[in-house]
Structure 1
Amino acid sequence: MDSKIKYFAIAGFIAILVLIRIYESNLFYDPFLEFFNDATQNKTIPKYDGFKLFLGLLFRYLINSICTVFIIYLLFKETNLVKFASILLLAFFVILTILFFFLLEFSANSDVVILFYVRRFLIQPLFLLLFVPAFYYQKSVNKQ
Structure 2
Amino acid sequence: MRKGLVILVCAVLIIALGCIRIFQQQLFYDPLLLFFESAYLYDASLPQLDFIKLIVHTGIRFWLNASISIVFILLLFRSSENFKILLLIYAATFILLLTAFALVLNSYTIELNLLLFYIRRFLIQPMLLLILIPAFYYQRLKSSA
Task: Pick the TM interval, shorter chain.
Answer: over 0.9
The one-letter code sitting in structure 1 at the alignment partner of 2:50 is: D
Counterparts of 1:1-144 in structure 2, within 5 Å, are 1-38=1-38, 40-43=40-43, 44-144=45-145
Q: Which runs of 5+ in 1 are unaligned?
A: none
Counterparts of 2:135 and 2:116 in 1: how far apart (Å)?
26
Deviation at 1:39, TM superposition (A): 5.2
Q: Distance in 2 between matches of 1:104 and 1:42?
A: 18
- For residues 106-132 of structure 1, give each alpha carbon's deviation from its aligned partner in whole angstroms, at most 9, with x where no partner exists: 131111001000000000000000001
Give the Cα separation in 2 of the matches to 1:46 and 1:119: 15
Is contact 1:42–1:109 with CA below 8 Å preserved after alignment?
no
Taking structure 1 as the reference length, what is the TM-score of the superposition? Answer: 0.96
Please tell me whether the aligned partners of residues 68 and 128 of structure 1 are also in contact (alpha carbons under 8 angstroms). yes
Aligned length: 144
Q: Distance in 2 between matches of 1:59 and 1:122?
A: 10
In 1, distance between residues paired with 2:26 and 2:52? Answer: 18
For 2:50 and 2:108, how far apart are their aligned partners in 1?
17
Q: Equivalent residue of 1:38, what SS? A: helix
| Structure 2 unaligned spans of 5+ | none
Structure 2 length normalisation: TM-score?
Answer: 0.96
